[in-house]
Each structure stands twice: as structure tokens, then as C-alpha cells.
Structure 1
Amino acid sequence: MNHSKISYYAELFLYPIVVAALLLFDLASNGFALHQRWLLAALGGAMLWTLAEYLVHRFLYLEVPILKRLHGLHHARPSDLIGAPIWVSVVIFLSFFVLVASLADLQTASGTTSGLLTGYVLYLL
């Protein structure tokens, strides 16, 4: 899917704000002291991004027909603004946050999601 410049680069603007908000949420809920558990969860989320990125490329972009076609277009025309709409990543990351929060707690979900989002933003760059 071709995007305008604004929609193509929106994630680079949105997700650092989300990471900052999650960090501030943790700081505010703990008397403005960052806990090791949040940092470890963020580190784990960043490492999880590496695995997630590999799995998405290996199994979704090369196997699912519509994604395979879009991925092929991206490689055929790398300077075009081709990508999934932002709502796809928002749904995925929000679902991940809710899942981790339901299995662990908000601090772990916040840290892990922050690490995952940071890895994603670095990937986008």
C-alpha cells in the first residue's frame, strides 16, 4: 500500500511518544524511581523485537500471498512509500501490551512493550 509521507513516517513520530509515556507512567507510579524490573523488561522487549522481526519476515512476508506481494513491491521499488497502515502496528502492539499485562503486571507490560517499540523504531530508521 502506497502512503503519503505523513502516514508513512507517522510511526516514527508516534512510537517514541508512546515509549516516553510508558516510561513516565512507570516513573510516576514508583515515586519517580525507575525500577530494575522495568529496565529488564525493556531489554527483554528489545531482544524480543529481533526474534519478532525475523519471524515476520521469514513466515509472513514470504508466505502469506498478499504480504508477499507487498513485500515484493517494497523490494522492487525501495524508494516508494510502501508499507502497512499504522493501525496494523497499533493493534499488534496494543494487543501485546494487554496480553503481557494480563499474564504479568502493568510494569512488566510497560517495559516489555517499550523495548519492543524501541526495537521497531530502530528497525524503521
Structure 2
Amino acid sequence: MSQDARYQVDVQVETLYIEEQSQPDQNRYVFAYTITLTNSGTVAAKLLTRHWIITDSNGRVEEVRGEGVVGKQPYLRPGESFRYTSGTLIQTQVGSMRGTYHMIADDGVEFEAQIPAFTLSIPRVLH
């Protein structure tokens, strides 16, 4: 795996609580998250797989692994971005997500794009 600046994908996250799909009386809280991936390196790369670690405030951890994102394996040239929206379900009002995208560059170098930890929270729970 490379830490080389040529192989750099930045990840930005926005979250949204989906009240109409949630059922708090059944400990069911649904969140959407929108991810923007930007290739800030100098070599084009393709996203192969994802690995998510989802933690609720009870300490329950779920790991999700799979190919691509939303059925795609985006190819990003230097400076290009790819944006998608997906969702998750947790059993508490607050939780967090973090993870990695496994990438392969045009020159064959494989590397991880880090997904920084972000908070899932229903409105007015966290200040």
C-alpha cells in the first residue's frame, strides 16, 4: 500500500437524518450520507472496494465490505470528483461511520483512500 502523494483521494461527507423512514419507538434510525471523492493525486485511479465500520452509541459495530459504491467502480483522473448518496440504519439516535476505499492506480499501485470518521445524529441531539 502506498502513502505516496501521487496516490491521493480526498473524501468529504455530508449526512442527513431520514425521519420519515425512521421508527424511534423500534430503535430504527435511518441516515443518508453523501460522499464526494476527489482525486487530488497525480495518477488516475479506480475505486475497487469499500470497507465501512458503523458504530452506534451502544457500542454495536457493523462492518460492511463490498465491491464499488452504489453499483459503480468510479474511475477518477487527477482533479476529477465522483459524488454519490447512500444510506445506513442504526439502533441509536447517534452513531458514527468510518472506513476505506481500496483503489488501484493506472500504474498498478494499490492504495487505500481513508474515509474520516463522521457522526450520524438526529437533529437537536448533539450541539
Q: TM-score, normalised by structure 1?
A: 0.31
More helix by share: 1
Larger RCO, structures 1/2 (Cα 8 Å, 6+ apart):
1
More strand by share: 2
Q: TM-score, normalised by structure 2?
A: 0.30
